[in-house]
Chains A and B, each alone.
Chain A
């Protein structure tokens, strides 16, 4: 899309705000609607927009498919890892109260934060990887 000046300029302006909104949805999930799933799909949508305007090759220079293939299972591992860690600390699986020995509610906040980060990673990288394989087949 080399010739489409307006599309390029507008999406260049839009993408930072899209990513910012995704981060807001991610980290504000404790207080307002949102969380890892929503933030993950918004991140994926922002990157897909970038790939549409500037080309798949430019996108893959920023995030390579090999990196995504690591990120997809890593998210699940972070989530399950939090569970295993609380196990080691002596609690039940995914018992976030164990994460902070002084104040259980801090443990809850930390646990939810980590778990949502895992969800974000898996959701966004899965969507992006599916887009890569779909878009790559047309050539």
Chain B
């Protein structure tokens, strides 16, 4: 049953991706990428990664769709026709995809308890987390307590990314304001 559910979700994902490639109207592309994120969030929840699913739904389907729409507001809604032949990029994409699929052959079966990631530190965390921290959710105790340094780093990454985007957009807006003062050509 779960296999069938996942298969249907993955087929939908593939259909949406093909739709994104085929459609030239950028508004439709933004809406389709929102749908892609929602399907991805559902798939993540089906894989029991509820917190990742929540983030995907809020960021991927919610906020970034809005950001893409406001970016669309500043450009054309129709994709410009390609100036060069698409053969080389297509071949590159297919090659990368083939390499990724080849890479999955070596991956352990999903949820296999004997993998390195589930057998060394993972066991330690599961055994020691509740006696040591008394936080029932092991994910939270690993994220915020045992690996607090990493999460501090992640927060710093978000901070840096935010500052970077702001510097780019603020700078451009000031230039735009100057243009509006003069004659528009």
Contact = CB atoms under 8 A, between A and B. Distances in A.
Contact of B58 (A45, A108, A109, A130): A45
Interface in A93-139: 93-94, 96, 105, 108-109, 111-112, 115-116, 118-119, 122-123, 126-127, 129-131, 133-138
A93 B159 CA distance: 20
A10 to B, nearest CB: 16
Interface string B102-120: 0000000000000000000
Interface of B: 50-51, 54-55, 58-59, 62-63, 66-67, 70-71, 73-74, 132-137, 139-141, 143-145, 148-149, 151-152, 154-156, 158-159, 161-163, 165-166, 169-170, 172-173, 176
Contact of B165 (A38, A112, A133): A133
Contacts of B149: 93-94
Interface string A30-49: 11111101100110110010
A76 interface: yes
Given A79-B152, A126-B162, A134 B67 contact: yes
Nearest to B165: A130
A130 B54 CA distance: 20
A130 B145 CA distance: 29
A73 interface: yes
A115 B151 contact: yes
Contacts of A131: 63, 66-67, 70
19 contacts: A30-B136, A30-B137, A32-B137, A33-B50, A33-B139, A35-B144, A38-B54, A41-B55, A41-B58, A41-B62, A41-B63, A75-B155, A112-B133, A115-B148, A130-B169, A131-B63, A133-B166, A134-B71, A135-B70
A80 interface: yes
Contacts of A83: 148, 152
A37 B163 CA distance: 18
Contacts of A75: 155, 159
Contacts of B148: 83, 94, 96, 111, 115
A83 B70 CA distance: 39
B87 to A, nearest CB: 35
B93 to A, nearest CB: 28
